[in-house]
Structure 1
């Protein structure tokens, strides 16, 4: 089991990510915007494969061209390194999609 990060460690990890925010001290969340609905669905499919590889499953919400991913580590009752590692991989996956539109 991974150890829960301190608030300082969470803030340090956030500096390494783009557009991720902390929610209720135990979640990190990011909204990804896509050029169309199917690009978002394709991203979710690839993100699900990454999640399975890590046996770490986020909440994923599709809202037309937007995909919102929320991560936390249930066993640690908060955020762990694994949440941030997976967030970084989701960001890399997003960047690989050349038709993605980056918006806040």
Structure 2
């Protein structure tokens, strides 16, 4: 198998396409990743943190968070004894993070 210029370019493009799904930064909820393209925004609810962009499921899984269940706009993630609720309201381009009270 010969390494050609086209194959090298193809691998670079493939890696560039995968970066948004695997690269993350830490949110204000300790140890919970959000997309590197996310920005913190003022939310409707004081206790929740709103982020724009999308939630990187691969990065969440790589950080050890397990998706417990989804119901409507709410998704629950658990890592050890910590639980984080993620809300994505319909018609809203962002999502809200809320750590369960018994974890604090």
TM surpasses 0.5: no
Which structure features the higher share of helix residues?
Answer: 1
Which structure features the higher share of strand residues?
Answer: 2
TM-score, normalised to structure 1's length? 0.31
With a CA cutoff of 8 Å and minimum separation of 6, indicate the structure with the bigger relative contact order.
Answer: 1
